[in-house]
Every structure is written in structure tokens, then in C-alpha cells.
Amino acid sequence: MNSIEEIYYEAKSDKWFKRFAIFCRVALALSFIPAGLVKIMGERFAEGLPHNNPLGHYFDALQLTGYYYTFIGIAQVITAILLLIPRTSLLGALMYFPIIVNICVLTYAMRFAGTRINTMMLLASLFLLIWNYDRLKYILPFKQPKPDPPVLLKKPLGMRLRIFFFGGSAALLAFIIIGTSYLYEIGPGNAEDECRSQCASGKNPAACEAFCNCIYKEGRPLDSCLAAYDKAKNIHKADTK
């Protein structure tokens, strides 16, 4: 057994890591149940999101896909139930991961303000897969270790491992929260007033206002409005020279 696997089995035997794994399972399951039920009932997901928001366009179109929309909701509810049951939690984690990867990429592509939460959900899902490494390792394209983990001979890492993991997790979450604040120069926000609130503190208020008008008044696609925003910035720069 290599040193990485020793650390892994040390974490698997620690009560704090076990509680954190349970927390991740429950939190991820609770995030999918209401989202899935909304789709099963045929209602629009994220009802408070304006129709002219770039992601609002997507949700409107998705709702019109008929039984495919219902299928997504059923898949989310089943995944949540599997996560909550200890015996089927691995299957739930395997189903959850590709779904949340798709959602995360979508929200980043649409510059959605909720990308931080989705990123945290993705990391929690990845943690559950790593947590179940002892069951997943047999399907990985690596040299197969012995089925039974050997007895740990070294002194347990104990508190140091907890501090390293949970401290690193806190630092990573802080990086996500702060980093995503500076990821884009401009974004549509979750509503028109949120979009316009960034204009006053921006370098190009007029271009920003034009961008928000493009999104919420004209209902044009995000890429088109970003192109108009860049054009307005260039005109402003030319006028100031």
C-alpha cells in the first residue's frame, strides 16, 4: 500500500470524515429533490429568473421539451433517493456527478450568478467519488491493489489530517467565492436590477447599460449582447482619445 492509500484509509476510519461524507450526501440529495419535483410537475424551473435572462431562455426552451423535461426531473429525484440510502449511495454519486458537471458548465457558459453554489456541489460530488475509491478502484485502469486494506502500521495522522483537509476545503471555497467575483467583466445577473447595479461602479457605465438593455429589453442572446458591449466600449475609448 502506497502512502496515498494509507492517508485514504486513515481518512475512511476517521469519524469527522465519515460525518462530512454523510453531510455531502444529504446536502446534494436535498438540492436535487425540489429541482426534480418542479420538472415532474411540469412547472418552470427557477421561476424567479426573468425570461429574457440568458439562462431564462434555456429554462423556457427546456420546459417545452415535453416528456424529456419530466425525465430529467425523475432522474434527479431517483439520484437523490439513491444518495440518501447508504447501500445505494455509490450508485447515486455516480449518477449525480455527470449531471452536476453538465449543470456547472451550463451556468459558467451563461455567466449565471449561482455558479459558486454549483461549483461547490460539483466538488462535493467529486469528494463522494473519492470517498468511495475503495469500491471504485476495481474499475479504474490502474494496477489492482489487494482487496483487503492492510493494517496501518504508522502512527495515525489524526488531527493533522483533519486540519489539512477541512482547512484546505475552507481555503478552496474562499477561492471560489472570491475568484468567481472577478471571473467576468460583466454578467447578466439574475434580474434586470442586478444587472444594472454593476454599471455605476464599472469603467463603462454606458456600455453596461446598453448590455442590460440588450438582455432584458431586447431579449437578444448573450453572445450578441457581449459583442454589442465590446463595441460600445471601443467607441467610448475612441471618443476619449
AA letter at 191:
A
How far is it, in rounded angstroms, from Cα 123 to Cα 101?
A: 10
Q: What is the pLDDT of residue 144?
A: 61
pLDDT tens-digit map of 181-196? 778 888 898 888 989 9
Alpha carbons 62 and 79: distance in angstroms, whole number: 20
Angle (CA) 84-80-68 rounded to 5° is: 160
Task: Extract the C-alpha cell encoding 129.
Answer: 467519488
Q: Alpha-carbon distance 196 to 187, whole Å? A: 10
Q: What is the DSSP letter of 149?
A: P
Q: Do residues 165 and 21 lie in contact, with contact meaning Cβ atoms separated by under 8 Å? A: no
Q: Is there a contact between 94 and 129 (Cβ–Cβ < 8 Å)?
A: yes
Confidence check: pLDDT of 145 > 80:
no
Residue 186 backbone phi and psi in degrees, to 5: -150, 150
pTM: 0.74
What sign does the dihedral 57-63-126-119 (CA atoms) show?
A: positive
Select the more confidently predicted residue: 140 or 187.
Answer: 187
Give the pLDDT confidence of 151-173 residue by residue, as tens digits.
555 566 678 888 888 999 999 99
Express each pLDDT in 96-132 by its tens digit.
999 999 999 999 998 887 788 999 999 999 999 999 9
Task: Quote the cell numbers at residue 156.
Answer: 495515525
Name, in order, each residue with C-beta under 8 angstroms of 76's C-beta and a sequence gap of 6 or more. Answer: 32, 33, 35, 36, 39, 99
